[in-house]
Amino acid sequence: MSIEIINEAEIFIKAIFLGVFLCVIYDFFRIIRRIVKKGTIITGIEDILFFVFSALIIFSYMYKMNGGIIRIYIFVAILMGVFVYEEGIGKFVVKYISKILKKCIEVLKKCFKPIRIVFNRCKNKKRGALVAKERKEAGKERSE
C-alpha cells in the first residue's frame, strides 16, 4: 500500500475514536442531567456549549491531521464512531452509571444526616439568639 492510503486509513480510524470520545463526553452531560435536575434553559446552554466544543475539536482534528482540508469521509468516520458507541455500550452507560451515582448520593446523604441535623440545630440556636438580641436592642431604642 502507498503511504497516502495508510495515512488516510489512520485518519479514518482516529476519526472513529473521535466520534466515540465525543459521545462519552456527551454521556457525561446526560448523567449529570439525570442526577441534578435543571431547567430547559440551562440544558439548552449546556447543549450549545457541547456542540461548540465538538465543532472546535473536530475542526482542530481536521486541521492537525489533514491540513484543514474538509473531507466527507472524516465526518462519516465520526458518525460511525457515534453509531458504534451508541449501539454498543452507550445504551447502558448513562442508565447504569446514573443509577450507581444516585445510590451513592443516597448513601452519602444518610451518612451525613446526623451531621446535618446537628449543624441545623446549632444554626437555629444562633439565629434564635440573634433575633432575641435584635428584639432586646429594638426595645431599648423604643424606651429611649
How much is the pLDDT for 90? 86
> What is the distance between the alpha carbons of residues 138 and 125, in angstroms, rounded to a whole number?
20
How much is the pLDDT for 77? 96
- Its pTM stands at 0.71
Are 62 and 70 contacting, i.e. CB atoms less than 8 angstroms apart?
yes
How much is the pLDDT for 83? 95
How much is the pLDDT for 94? 87
How much is the pLDDT for 113? 75
> What is the distance between the alpha carbons of residues 74 and 46, in angstroms, rounded to a whole number?
25
Instruction: Estimate to the nearest angstrom the gap between the alpha carbon of 104 and the chain centroid.
Output: 17
How much is the pLDDT for 35? 87
Residue keyed to cell 495515512: 7
How much is the pLDDT for 58? 93
Each residue's pLDDT expressed in tens, for the chain with a length of 144 residues:
688 888 889 999 999 999 999 999 999 988 988 888 888 898 899 999 999 999 999 999 999 988 888 889 999 999 999 999 999 998 898 889 989 998 988 888 888 777 777 767 776 666 665 555 666 666 655 555
